[in-house]
Amino acid sequence: MKRNLLILLFFVAISGVYAQQESQFTQFMYNKLLINPAYAGSRGVPSVTAVYRSQWVGFEGAPQSMLATFNSPFLTNRVGVGLTVANIKIGLNRDTYGALSYSYDLVAQENVSVRFGISASIRSLSIAYNEATVIDIGDNSVANQKENDIFGNVGAGLYTTLFNRFYVGFSVPRLYSNVTGFTNNNAVLLAKEYQHFYGMAGAILPLSDDISLMPAILIKYVANAPLDADINLNLDIKQKFTVGTSYRMGGDGSGDSIDMLAFWQATPRVGVGVAYDFTLSRLKDYNGGSFEVLLQADLKQDEKLAGKKKMTNPRFFM
């Protein structure tokens, strides 16, 4: 039974045969640089974000993701730079990723910002055969070694903010379709990267002086796969606590998951977030859901906000 589940996991999470190939995070609204290089520098201060995600808890070989990003204005607020590093483990597969991002604000008005961004990335894909438990010693398909290959790519995106209340973005993190998979010259094509297109949007809708409603959506599309989306609704209380829920499409008709989120702005410069996903797909009987932990910190206080009792826009937005 366990073997069958691992085989199912392999095809669901790794093969990417006309399916989502890139990692996903429930707290996408705090973590935009991973998929959109134009977000670099948009917060107006040097910022770091770290995320750990454990997907399908209790499912042996299930995805585990670690991510860290840094982004900051550079010399002027119109220019932004960013760094992303990530590591994803799925069974014996290892995906290590690093990217440098650059953005430029084409408008740079007080109430309107339109950033264009580009990124250059390097990706190491490997299979740790040396960590496998070999059942049949005579099976030569599993070697006592670690296969590895390295791929480069470029990406691009747009990120727009309006009146400190709305944002919208569009991006393609990897423009070039690398041929991936470990094979020889006589074998057929095993795997190929496909362009993933992302659209994102969010808003801050004040309900009172202390409470704001913050809807957000992340749309994901890759050729020959159904359109996917994360639909989120958060409630911000006194720009200190944020709680909400998301629905992730996909799965087998009923959706992939229902997610619960919470974020605490512990200090004006440090925030902590957690998320838990309740699985809706057919895998729900074999796992205990998924969870994430997030840490976000500004390395410098925004001079525009210094001395003010409230921020002009919540950390969720920026």
More confident residue, 250 or 143: 250
In a domain, 203, yes or no: yes
pLDDT digits (tens, 9 = 90+) for 208-223: 999 999 999 999 998 8
Contact status, residue 57 vs residue 31, Cβ threshold 8 Å: no
Integer Cα distance of 143 and 245 in angstroms: 44
**Cα radius of gyration rounded to whole Å, the chain:** 20
Question: E strand or H helix at 213, and its extent?
Answer: strand 211-222
% of the chain beyond a pLDDT of 70:
78
What number of other Cβ atoms are within 10 A of residue 23's Cβ? 19
Residue 6 per-residue DSSP state:
H
In a domain, 53, yes or no: yes
Q: How many helices (H) and strands (E) does the chain have?
A: 1, 17
pLDDT confidence of residue 5:
40
What number of other Cβ atoms are within 10 A of residue 131's Cβ? 11
CATH number at residue 10: 2.40.160.40
Integer Cα distance of 276 and 227 in angstroms: 23
Query: What is the model's pTM?
Result: 0.84
> Which of 99-103, 190-194, 229-233, 300-304 has the lowest average pLDDT?
300-304
In a domain, 192, yes or no: yes
pLDDT at 128 over 60: yes
In a domain, 281, yes or no: yes
In a domain, 307, yes or no: no
Integer Cα distance of 281 and 267 in angstroms: 38
Integer Cα distance of 278 and 50 in angstroms: 22
Report the SS3 class of residue 24.
coil
In a domain, 316, yes or no: no
Counted residue by residue, the chain has a size of 318
pLDDT digits (tens, 9 = 90+) for 13-24: 433 334 455 778
pLDDT, average across residues 256-274:
93
In a domain, 305, yes or no: no
Q: How many domains would you assign to the chain?
A: 1
Residue 11: both structure tokens together: 């095809």
% of the chain beyond a pLDDT of 90:
53
- The residues pairing with 166 across neighbouring beta strands, listed in sequence order, are 162, 203
pLDDT confidence of residue 261:
97
- Structural domain boundaries, residue 233: 2-298
